[in-house]
Chain A
Amino acid sequence: MDDGCVISLDNVSIGYQKNKPLIEGLNLRVNSGEIIAIVGPSGIGKTTLLRTIAGLVPPLKGGLKVCSQTNPASPPRGELGYIPQRLGLVRHASVHHNVMLGALAGHCSPWLPFSFDARKSAHKAIQKMGLEEKRRSLVRRLSGGQQRRVATARTLAQKPSLILADEFLGELDEETMLIVMDAVISYVDEKNAALLVVEHDIQRARKMADRLLLMKNGKLVPYVESLEPVEEE
């Protein structure tokens, strides 16, 4: 990784159809220690942008580079943590199992469920999110707020250099939101990682982000408050 770069997008077009790109000519560089929030109206392509960076949707054009990547064919294991809008949890498995999935991705080993380090990371993340008593519970039996904490714990246990979070705070109550937000922000500070978050709540986005970007009309521009009141989803 050179000069703190975590990920860079150079003249990238994203979308699902070549003739109908959602965003064109996108240039973005995320540096370590940085928190960037992306806001914008619904259906504009914010989630697609995160999915493209996460490697789930190929970019239509341009260069997308994870800076620590040495082999262009395969992105580095465990470098990207992704919290999808629907959290991406294994609902029929326990809290511990889900968090262990993150811990295993973060440890450069093939399938090693008995790795001491992985288990320690998972244990710490569960503790940090206040889920010790629920560690053996099935995720599908937890409340929405608890599930969000599990998804966050999974990412923290993974120790990625970039967290991609798609509205990961959802409709959390104030208290839980602060716990989750503080945990993620302090992780970014401690590990000098980066956070790229899609957020529909401007106030919340402003609270956590160093940079606020607005996605509108197929472009990603710095958010200027006086100009752009963003419609909420």
Chain B
Amino acid sequence: MKGENDDSFSMRDFVTGAWFSSRWALFFVSLILLSIIIANSMVDDWGRLENGGSNLIIFIEESLWPPDWSVLEPQDYPVCLAAPGFSFTCSTAWIGLIETLKIAFVSTVLGMIISLPISLFAARNLNSPWVSYPARFILAASRSLPSIIWAIFFVILVGLGPLSGILAMTVYTVGYLGKLQYEAIEGISRSPLDASRAMGHSWIERSFGVVLPEAANGLISQAIFMFEYNFRHGTVIGIVGAGGIGYYINLYLKFLQYDKVIAYLIIIFIVVLLLDFISIKARSYFTEENDVNERGWLGFISRITALKKSPK
């Protein structure tokens, strides 16, 4: 007769428990195996990987290194009127870089303004599927093509230059940022929405009074991330003539002047690192983690003023 203290843990319990604990690990192992099988079906000769390393060394030694820093020297024409010590601002690297930053900034701001109302319609916790799915369709459509394809499209429509770059990046930003935004909106707690619905707020009151303030930190953080993302992609769209530093990279690639190309790439790399660092810092003011000091807009501004006031 089995009493209350009998050990009722059977082999079957053990197998069920072990399966339950390891099911995710098994899932990921299966995923990795599947991807290896698919890759193997497409690659006919893995031996080609052997020469990759030596080819890279030859390419670096003969073509890339050392970088040609003449890209930081002022152009011959137009005549540089910058103050002494600032002649680099007349260089192609500087002009291209600033243009790319400008394109990234304008397209992020425009994209955010356009995507915000669409993402409010796309959020399922605010709207019926009849409203949210068409809004999602618009966002998916503008995200479906990479920004470089949009750039080609706008170069055809409005011609070469930064305008087509701005338009291309804006359209892509609407789709990409819009998705991040409606996911942030759908992630807010249900409780304030319930209170608002019970009180009888209208859709606009709920959206602007409850949803946007509740999701604001996430939305601001995503906009900062989007700016950084747009800068990185802004370097590429110049290749198709949509303005920015990519234009010069493409130019020197055509002339096979890889030492100049690597100089541009190093400059881009440094700026991306800087932007990434600033972006992480700025975003930390809009998240709740380590919410010890004053955060949010007030904290951000008060930190900056404190830095300025600080004697050292």
Contacts and interface: CB of A to CB of B under 8 A. Distances in A.
Given A88-B194, A104-B205, A140-B288, A80 B213 contact: no
A110 B197 contact: no
A101 interface: yes
Interface string A140-165: 11000000000100100010100010
B291 interface: yes
16 contacts: A54-B194, A55-B197, A55-B198, A81-B198, A85-B191, A88-B193, A89-B192, A90-B209, A90-B213, A90-B214, A91-B192, A93-B213, A93-B214, A101-B210, A138-B296, A141-B291
B199 A111 contact: no
B195 A84 contact: yes
Interface in B203-222: 204-205, 208-210, 213-214, 216-217
A102 B291 CA distance: 27
A79 interface: yes
B84 interface: no
B200 A79 contact: yes
B210 A90 contact: yes
A104 to B, nearest CB: 6
Q: Which of A76, A87, A90, A101 has the most CB of B within 10 A?
A: A90
B288 to A, nearest CB: 7
A140 B213 contact: no
Nearest to B206: A101
A83 B198 CA distance: 9
A77 interface: yes
A76 B200 contact: yes
A164 B202 contact: no
Interface of A: 51, 54-56, 75-93, 97, 100-102, 104-105, 110-111, 138, 140-141, 151, 154, 158, 160, 164
B189 interface: yes
B286 to A, nearest CB: 9
A54 B210 CA distance: 18
Q: Which of B193, B200, B214 has the most CB of A within 10 A?
A: B200
A16 B271 CA distance: 54
Contacts of A80: 198-200
A137 B24 CA distance: 43
B194 A51 contact: yes
B191 A78 contact: no
B199 A82 contact: yes
A83 B195 contact: yes
Given A91-B214, A93-B214, A81 B199 contact: yes
Given A82-B195, A83-B195, A88-B192, A101 B201 contact: yes
Q: Which of B193, B205, B296 has the most CB of A within 10 A?
A: B205
A170 to B, nearest CB: 13
B200 A90 contact: no
Nearest to A54: B198
B196 interface: yes
Nearest to A56: B194
A157 to B, nearest CB: 10
B227 to A, nearest CB: 21
B287 to A, nearest CB: 11
A56 B197 contact: yes
Contacts of B213: 90, 92-93, 97
B197 A105 contact: no
A122 B201 CA distance: 16
B214 A92 contact: yes
A138 B291 CA distance: 12
A90 B213 CA distance: 7
Contacts of A87: 191, 195
A104 B210 CA distance: 12
Given A80-B199, A82-B195, A101-B196, 8 more contacts: A56-B197, A78-B199, A82-B194, A92-B213, A92-B296, A93-B214, A105-B200, A110-B204
